Amino acid sequence: MRTILDHLDAVDPALFVVDVSAEIALLARIASVPAIGIRMHGNRGDAAHLAGYRACVGLLAPFDEALEQPETPDWIRAMTHYAGGLCTAQDVVPGKAEARAMLGLSPDREIVVVLTGGGGAGTPYAPLTMAARALPETDWLVLGPVQREGHETDFGNLHLRGWVATITAYIAAADVVVASSGDTIVHEIARVGRPYVCAPEWRYFDEQMRKGERLAELGAAILVSSWPGASTPWRGLLDAAKALDPAALASLHTPTAAASAANYLDRLATSLWTR
């Protein structure tokens, strides 16, 4: 806290953008530094989170207002600027055939891309072996880290690619994407517009599960609350995802979201200090 206060003294900011932390938002309020709180999903109606929101001069949601949780109080909604689906990816989205050619993948086989980022322990590997055994004519490409139990059986149609630089191409090459529900992943899938099976990772305050519930309610994804422990559900999950209206997920990505967020911060900083 002392280090943060010294830094705020040194730079004398017009605004302090606080990534979720209620404690830092309250510190900013005590220090008379106007703070913007970043909104995230989850069960955040406890006294500490609400105090952190109230301490801010505004709130920024890097997601579409359609993803807002229904129980969110009106005063929080009124404080929130919904920037839309914010995505860091900038590369051109190829067509499915082009993406497969780029990656050296079969033009004909069904391809499922399984994706997670670095925020957790990784995708559980054991359920994926069940999926690969259940659907041997499907290629399962796993991006990012995996979490092993140590007793899994490997299958020839289950490919661990690890960290890749061409995530947009992999998503574009897929028939279905199976992924967690972190903000970046959701919007990268929405940007490409592929059928989505949402498998939330454990997070504090049920952040990913609550977001997954909203995606399912909007018809943007098929939600699995836990990884299937048997081979039988996998075909049904993939077919259910393919049956969704792709426009429901695609509408959650906003190409201008970064500019919207930046303009909001700029306008607020200007208005606060020119009153």
Tell me the fold of 2-85+256-273: Rossmann fold (3.40.50)
Q: What is the pLDDT of residues 243-274, one digit of tens each?
A: 999 999 999 999 999 999 999 999 999 999 98
The residues spanned by each domain of the chain are 2-85+256-273, 96-250
Q: What is the pLDDT of residues 149-162, one digit of tens each?
A: 888 888 999 999 99
Tell me the fold of 96-250: Rossmann fold (3.40.50)
As a whole number of angstroms, the distance between CA 99 and CA 191 comes to: 15
Q: Which pair of structure tokens corresponds to residue 42?
A: 């989850």
Quote the radius of gyration of the chain (alpha carbons, Å). Answer: 21
Question: So what's the pLDDT on residue 151?
Answer: 84
The strand pairing partners of 81, in sequence order, are 60
> How high is the mean pLDDT of the chain?
95
- Rounding to the nearest 10 degrees, give the CA dihedral for residues 196, 199, 203, 207: 40
Q: What is the pLDDT of residues 181-213, one digit of tens each?
A: 998 899 999 999 999 999 999 999 999 999 999
Nearest to 237 by CA among 179, 186, 182, 184: 179
Indicate left, alpha or beta for 122 from its phi (over 0: left) and psi (-120 to 50: alpha).
Answer: left
Q: Each residue of 81-94: b (16+ CB within 10 Å) or e?
A: bbbbbbbeeeeeeb
Q: Are 104 and 131 in contact (CB under 8 A)?
A: no
Shared fold status for 2-85+256-273 and 96-250: yes
